[in-house]
Structure 1
Amino acid sequence: MVTSPLSQNKHLLTRAGFGINFSQIENLKNDKNKALIKSLFKEYPFREVNYDTPDIVQIEYTDPKATADQKRETQKIIQKQNVELNLNFLDQITKSEDQLREKMAFFWHGHFATRVNNPKFNQQLLNVIRKNALGNFKELLFEVSKSPAMLNFLNNQQNKKDHPNENFAREVMELFTMGRGNYTETDIKELARAFTGWGYNKEGEFIDRPKQHDTGTKTFLGKTGNFTGDDVLNIILEQKTTAKFITTKIYKFFVNEIPDQSHINKLSEEFYASNYDIKKLMESIFSSSWFYDKKNVGNKIKSPTELIAGMIRILPMQIGNPENITVYQKLLGQMLLFPPNVAGWPSGKSWIDSSTLMLRLQIPQIWSGLRPMEYSAKEDDDMDMGMKSREALIKSFKNPNITIDWLAVEKTFKNKNPEDYLIQNTELIDMKTVNQFSDQSLKMNIINLMSTPEYQLM
């Protein structure tokens, strides 16, 4: 078990949130762990994350009356709204006191992954996830399953009687609830039949279309009846395998990518018995002594969002051109609101290749104005989201317009070892090597610490 109170608190804030905030540094070593846990579960008023540009009447691309110029103008506004929503979510992640809610929302954002162009649908789903992030998994599952973003992404708008579409049904079981191996192909077909008729209207509201629903008898997971979409979701939640699948995924995200089956079994039993109370599950995890074991500290590679948000939180900075941050997301491989596929983002070593590691190590120097950006985005039209050209991306890196208040940093870190706050497992860091590349100033010491491979771990 991690013995130092500072190490425990640092580990907790990094896993249950997006790292230490600059304002927390002064008292972190004196904070009681139990009090810190309690503060993470404090309930704050819920605030939606929205985009800033007003909605327009979106022209359907299939509308024969729409001119090419009209379509281009509509697409520009859609792209602008998606970028604004991305940045406003990141702003909430980095600034909100409600850190655990946002970290759970970030987890669910990758779990219930959608990739649609419609900013209104994206906004709706993001706020459904954020609102229910620490609530009840049943309510979260039902709301997500009826969201236009999910129904659009997985083609359930086209799921009609006599012509069932299995996309949504398959992913509900494989990725969102039960996991592979716990159902049959027949179960997928019957589930798809139960979901026939579920869709949405032009206003982005869920609609159940009775004329498109297959009212025949269905046999699903051993039960037979004239099931609706609500019925089959309830049957899925009756399966203990669902509680175990969700618990395992949460454990791998928050604790260790190699799960301890004894912990998983106990936690999933509690999760099932609580009727899927997410908050209780997270309280059990963060209050357990094993959560602070050394084998669970500094063993995970930070995702790009965790890396970026962590830097913004621990250094007092002003970002003049926040749209630049979406460029970093793109280059590092994690655009918020834009997962690569329905399985969400990968994790672990998949975040690191020769290109992304070099950029990760250089971001502290780039943000401090010590070096220009020399990397261009990978060729990936799907990831562009209508952003800038490659040339513009490179140019924008050379002046990220980030100002760090180094005087405040000097004052706060005076008589402290920066590595105690910046590196998760200080046993891994060789301070002699770090100091060799410093000019003995605190500023360079911090920049060099944040430029180490060890800083990539959490």
Structure 2
Amino acid sequence: MIDVKNIRHLYSRAGFGLRFDQLNETANLTIKQAVNKLLLQAEISEPADIIAGNISYKDFLQANEGTKKMFLQEQRQQEKALNIDWINKMSTTKAVLREKMTLFWHNHFACRTQNAWYAQQLNNIQREHAIGNFRTLLIEVAKSPAMLQFLNNQQNQKNHPNENFARELMELFTIGRGNYTEQDVKESARAFTGWGFNKDGKFVNRLNLHDTGSKTFLGKSGNFTGEDVIDMLLAKKETAHFICNKLYRNFVNETPDPAHVDAMANTFFNSNYEIKPLLLFLFNADWFYAEKNMANLIKSPVDFIVGLNRQFYITYQNPDVVLQFERALGQVLFYPPNVAGWPGGRNWIDSSSLMYRIKIPSTVLNGGVIDFSGKVDPEDEAFIASSHKQQQAVVTKVQAGADWDKVLSSIKHLTKNALAQTLLAPALNNNLTAIVNTTADTKTLLVELVSTPEYQLC
């Protein structure tokens, strides 16, 4: 039996929400067919390619002060452009599941770099392998200049091992705390000595800096390399469990069900860490559609922004406004708070961010003005002060437009209740029912609905 409620739930978790114009194309699909459709569309991979090349750090150091300043300004513009490009990609792509998983891996392998070219490389690695093989993804991430730089493996060499990457590899990327010892960290660091990158942004294994001595890791001894350590971590089922527990918290419920996570981990481990079979299992599971797992997650800021963009076909004449939204809501792409990433869940909401979440939809859809007081990017403060434009920076005309003709033409056949049930994950309560019953104008109704607290849930 077709269940629109379940289809809507699937699209909100495996994508960024169900658009009105998708109601017809999903109307006769079973859940299994809908999942297969999402996976088929996810075969499309659209790499980011707006950053053409790299300026080496050595060249930067040798430049004069004027050139350095220009270089830093260019890097800043590239960072912004990369961020906006990804938001646009998520807002328009048909491959929503690939982009949703890219966003998941972006937070799982949290990384910060001031080199936009390196950030783009890592983003493309996560996108290319988003629904592929986790081992391949992990090794490619570990060899990326962004991660090698961020976790100091560029400085990791024999006789002077640096433990940063080895520690985070186990604690955050694979097996999780409690499944390794401090000695394992030290021995693992030795295995990764020599891993680095050259001025062209390509991985190099500097054999002259590699520790070739015997190492004892997770109870086994040998002349282990970085790949050996990764394979030994993946051979432990605890790694599959750690990843699946995190996936469950992100896609199902913040309170994991041990039996469900175990079932996911069995699927993941037995498929040699293929991601696609795991997603097929997850999205086809009966418990994924249980009432307790619906409308129970708070949308991340990016989910919120992208979902709004997709539903109303929003375009921004001033794309920097999107960056201000991200800052105000607490999730700036490519700038996680630390190596553990954004904590998510209830941490997304405080009194300030909730106010912005309620205000942003009506402001964007009506082309209004929004006050970002107290939310100026610290890296922009010097520029703002020097140009005497602080008021302009924090009180911004959104300059955005929805394609109302397209939206309204796609909902002619829908009742007001159906509109509300497509937009909102929770069941209609008295307040929502009152909004539906008392708002005659369809456009006004849509704006009212996306400005409710309930719109923050998925």
Q: Would you call these one fold, judging by a TM-score over 0.5?
A: yes
Name the counterpart of 2:117: 120
Name the counterpart of 2:93: 96
- Does 2:19 match 1:21? yes
SS in 2 for 1:151: helix
Shift of 1:371: 4.3
Q: Aligned partner of 2:305: which letter?
A: I
**In 2, Cα distance between equivalents of 1:427 and 1:227:** 58
Q: Once structures 1 and 2 are overlaid, which stretch shifts more, 97-106 or 390-399?
A: 390-399
**In 2, Cα distance between equivalents of 1:231 and 1:299:** 40
Q: CA distance change for structure 1 residues 145 and 250 in 2, over 3 Å: closer, same or farther?
A: same
**In 2, Cα distance between equivalents of 1:341 and 1:395:** 26
Name the counterpart of 2:364: 367
Deviation by residue 1:389-423 (Cα, 9 ceiling, x = unmatched) = 79558547532211123333333223323211110
Name the counterpart of 2:202: 205
**In 2, Cα distance between equivalents of 1:19 and 1:278:** 22
**In 1, Cα distance between equivalents of 2:377 and 2:203:** 32
Shift of 1:388: 6.2
Q: CA distance change for structure 1 residues 28 and 385 in 2, over 3 Å: closer, same or farther?
A: farther
Name the counterpart of 1:156: 153
Name the counterpart of 1:81: 78
**In 2, Cα distance between equivalents of 1:336 and 1:50:** 16
Shift of 1:385: 10
Map 1:200-239 → 2, pairs under 5 A:
200-239=197-236
Q: Is the 8 A contact 1:59 1:66 kept in 2?
A: no
- Does 2:451 match 1:454? no
Q: CA distance change for structure 1 residues 295 and 338 in 2, over 3 Å: closer, same or farther?
A: same
Percent identity reads 42
Q: Is the 8 A contact 2:163 2:185 kept in 1?
A: yes
Q: Is the 8 A contact 1:17 1:103 kept in 2?
A: yes
Q: Aligned partner of 1:150: which letter?
A: M
- Does 2:41 match 1:46? no
Q: CA distance change for structure 1 residues 443 and 394 in 2, over 3 Å: closer, same or farther?
A: farther
SS in 1 for 2:369: coil
Name the counterpart of 2:326: 329
Shift of 1:326: 1.2
Deviation by residue 1:245-304 (Cα, 9 ceiling, x = unmatched) = 011111111111111111111110121111001000000000111111110100000000
Q: Is the 8 A contact 1:22 1:316 kept in 2?
A: no
Map 1:311-330 → 2, pairs under 5 A:
311-330=308-327
**In 2, Cα distance between equivalents of 1:377 and 1:275:** 48
Name the counterpart of 1:12: 10
Name the counterpart of 1:430: 431
SS in 1 for 2:338: coil
Q: Aligned partner of 1:300: which letter?
A: L
**In 2, Cα distance between equivalents of 1:21 and 1:265:** 33
Q: Once structures 1 and 2 are overlaid, which stretch shifts more, 275-284 or 37-46?
A: 37-46
Map 1:183-202 → 2, pairs under 5 A:
183-202=180-199
Q: CA distance change for structure 1 residues 354 and 4 in 2, over 3 Å: closer, same or farther?
A: farther
Q: CA distance change for structure 1 residues 10 and 432 in 2, over 3 Å: closer, same or farther?
A: closer
**In 2, Cα distance between equivalents of 1:258 and 1:118:** 37
Q: CA distance change for structure 1 residues 270 and 34 in 2, over 3 Å: closer, same or farther?
A: closer
Name the counterpart of 2:32: 34
Q: Is the 8 A contact 2:368 2:397 kept in 1?
A: no
List gaps (5 residues or longer) in structure 1.
none
- Does 2:237 match 1:251? no
Q: Is the 8 A contact 1:18 1:309 kept in 2?
A: yes
**In 2, Cα distance between equivalents of 1:183 and 1:413:** 55
- Does 2:373 match 1:342? no
Deviation by residue 1:358-411 (Cα, 9 ceiling, x = unmatched) = 0000011110226421232436636x5998679558547532211123333333
Name the counterpart of 2:175: 178
Q: Is the 8 A contact 1:376 1:394 kept in 2?
A: no
TM-score, normalised by the number of residues in structure 1: 0.93
SS in 2 for 1:325: helix
Q: CA distance change for structure 1 residues 302 and 167 in 2, over 3 Å: closer, same or farther?
A: same
SS in 2 for 1:430: helix
Name the counterpart of 1:400: 398
Name the counterpart of 1:354: 351
Q: CA distance change for structure 1 residues 269 and 429 in 2, over 3 Å: closer, same or farther?
A: farther
**In 2, Cα distance between equivalents of 1:448 and 1:58:** 50
Q: Is the 8 A contact 1:37 1:287 kept in 2?
A: yes
**In 1, Cα distance between equivalents of 2:410 and 2:391:** 35
Q: Aligned partner of 2:189: which letter?
A: A
Shift of 1:163: 0.9
**In 2, Cα distance between equivalents of 1:388 and 1:8:** 48
**In 2, Cα distance between equivalents of 1:94 and 1:182:** 39
Q: Aligned partner of 1:443: which letter?
A: K
Q: Is the 8 A contact 1:373 1:394 kept in 2?
A: no
CA RMSD of aligned residues (A): 2.2
1:67 aligned to 64, 68, 79, which one?
Answer: 64
Q: Once structures 1 and 2 are overlaid, which stretch shifts more, 114-123 or 426-435?
A: 426-435
TM-score, normalised by the number of residues in structure 2: 0.93
Shift of 1:429: 6.2
Q: Is the 8 A contact 1:169 1:188 kept in 2?
A: yes
Q: CA distance change for structure 1 residues 59 and 174 in 2, over 3 Å: closer, same or farther?
A: closer
Q: CA distance change for structure 1 residues 439 and 285 in 2, over 3 Å: closer, same or farther?
A: closer
Name the counterpart of 2:105: 108
**In 1, Cα distance between equivalents of 2:427 and 2:208:** 63
**In 2, Cα distance between equivalents of 1:433 and 1:177:** 48
Q: CA distance change for structure 1 residues 262 and 279 in 2, over 3 Å: closer, same or farther?
A: same
Q: Is the 8 A contact 1:137 1:276 kept in 2?
A: yes
Q: Is the 8 A contact 1:113 1:339 kept in 2?
A: yes
Shift of 1:88: 1.3
Name the counterpart of 2:440: 440
**In 1, Cα distance between equivalents of 2:396 and 2:274:** 47
- Does 2:135 match 1:134? no
Q: Is the 8 A contact 2:20 2:411 kept in 1?
A: no
List gaps (5 residues or longer) in structure 2.
none
